[in-house]
Amino acid sequence: MTIFLTTRYRARLSVILVLTLLAFHGSATAKESFTDELSSNEGMLMGAGAHFAWIVFDALKEDLEKKTGRKTILFGENSMLGVGCKAGIKAAKQGTKSRETFGFVCCPLSEEEIEKEKLIVYPLAKEPILILARDDNPVTNLSIDQVRGIFRGDITNWNSVGGNDQPIVVVTRLHCKKRPGHWKTILPSHKKFRQERLNVKSASAMVQRVSDFSGSIGHTGATWEFKPEDKIKVISVNGVRPTAKNLANGTYPFFRQMSAITNRDPSPDVVKLIKEAQTGPAFRKVAKKYELLPLNPLQN
Q: 27-126+257-294 — its CATH code?
A: 3.40.190.10
pLDDT along the chain (300 residues), means of 10: 46 41 40 52 85 94 96 83 78 91 93 96 97 97 98 98 98 89 93 96 93 96 94 98 98 97 97 97 95 91
Q: How much helix, strand and coil, in percent to the nearest 5, is found in the chain?
A: 40, 20, 35
What are 257's strand-pairing partners? 126
Residue 49 and residue 19: Cα distance in Å, rounded?
25
Q: 127-248 — its CATH code?
A: 3.40.190.10
On the question of a common fold for 27-126+257-294 and 127-248, the answer reads yes
Assess contact for 219 and 254: CB atoms under 8 A.
yes
> Per-domain residue ranges for the chain?
27-126+257-294, 127-248
HSE-up of residue 17 (Cα within 13 Å, Cβ side): 10
Residue 296 and residue 42: Cα distance in Å, rounded?
30
Tell me the pLDDT tens digit for each residue of 29-52. 444 455 555 555 567 999 999 999
Q: Residue 132 in 3-state DSSP?
A: strand
CA dihedral for 106, 111, 112, 116, sign (positive or negative): positive
Residue 21 and residue 103: Cα distance in Å, rounded?
28
HSE-up of residue 177 (Cα within 13 Å, Cβ side): 10
pTM, two decimal places:
0.84
Tell me the pLDDT tens digit for each residue of 219-243. 999 999 999 999 999 999 999 999 9
Residue 298 and residue 131: Cα distance in Å, rounded?
29
